[in-house]
Chain A
Amino acid sequence: MLTRMEPVVLEIAEGAASSDPDTGLRAVAALRALAERLEVLQVQAARELGWSWQDIAERLGVTKQTVHRKYGRRLGRR
């Protein structure tokens, strides 16, 4: 297990150790983009399961208006 973890740990260490703003900022931007994509997928899945905007918003830690404004149109029935 430890041996399998090693490369990942090493990479994290590298990223954290790297004080190069170029690497760090890129990583942050990529992470934000990834989070955005996953949010779309999860919100869509939740809506399809009949979750209310309120319930979704609670899990995301935002107001229901925020989620609805962001996704109401994008995911809404066309």
Chain B
Amino acid sequence: MFERFTEEARDLVVRAVEHAIRLGHRYVGPEHILLAAVSTGQPASAVLRAHGVTPELVEEGIVGLGAGAGLFGGLDKDALATIGIDLDAVRARIEASFGPQALARAAQAAHRDPRRRPGPRPPRLVREWRRRRRARRAMTTVPAPGPRPPEATGRYCAPGPRPSGHIPFTPAAKKILELTVREAVARHDPQVGVEHIALALTTIKQGLVPQILSAAGAPAAALRAAILDRYRQAS
């Protein structure tokens, strides 16, 4: 999928993963891609920043909106309202008594797959196999040099150990990458660049990204037009 991505676009995707790790998230969402997209030296990033979508603001959006939004995300607000529960009021109270970090961690735990509950203890032979496999892996895998957290916008750093191992892209983030390729195809661009990622980010309607963009006072449609305009001038 990434073979047609420009060097900068690939670098952006790598950065998105690094941002997720730095923020202590065990997933890469569209918001992490946005954070990486506003931090590059490419014209598309400059356009986003000129519209008020700065790395600081995006990061605040992820940590702030994300904390409570993560824990309360996906709940049926209207259904709760029918029995007299004001979800916003509940959220406001909870956010007032718990810090954003506690909320973020609870959100992670809440969304962690409850099916991965420890089952009955496996038979001894199976445990022995697993032990050997772990030992083998420990001997053969060279520890990776460890991703350097991006320093430019690294104001917030999650406490505790960094998430390690595989950090999966959320379905929404995968959708962004898919839309990115489509943007390039639609514009008959031979390569997939940062601008296509930025354009794809302006098209999604759900999740944190639209919230962050509207918090920045930058309607997605205006951003899209500005990015297209910038590249029309260039070419």
Contact = CB atoms under 8 A, between A and B. Distances in A.
Interface of A: 8-9, 11-12, 14-16, 18, 23, 26-27, 29-31, 33-34, 36-38, 40-41, 44-45, 48, 69-75, 78
Contacts of B102: 41, 44-45, 48
Interface string B76-92: 11011111111100100
Contacts, number: 84
Contact of B76 (A26, A36, A70): A26
Contact of B80 (A31, A40, A78): A31
Given A8-B86, A34-B87, A37-B72, A23 B79 contact: yes
B121 interface: no
Contact of B75 (A18, A23, A34): A34
Interface residues of B, number: 31
B85 A14 contact: no
Contacts of B80: 27, 30-31, 34
Residue among B79, B112, B117, B118 with the highest chain A CB neighbour number at 10 A? B79
Contacts of A34: 72, 75, 80, 85, 87, 90
B109 A70 contact: no
7 contacts: A11-B82, A12-B83, A15-B83, A18-B82, A27-B80, A41-B102, A73-B118
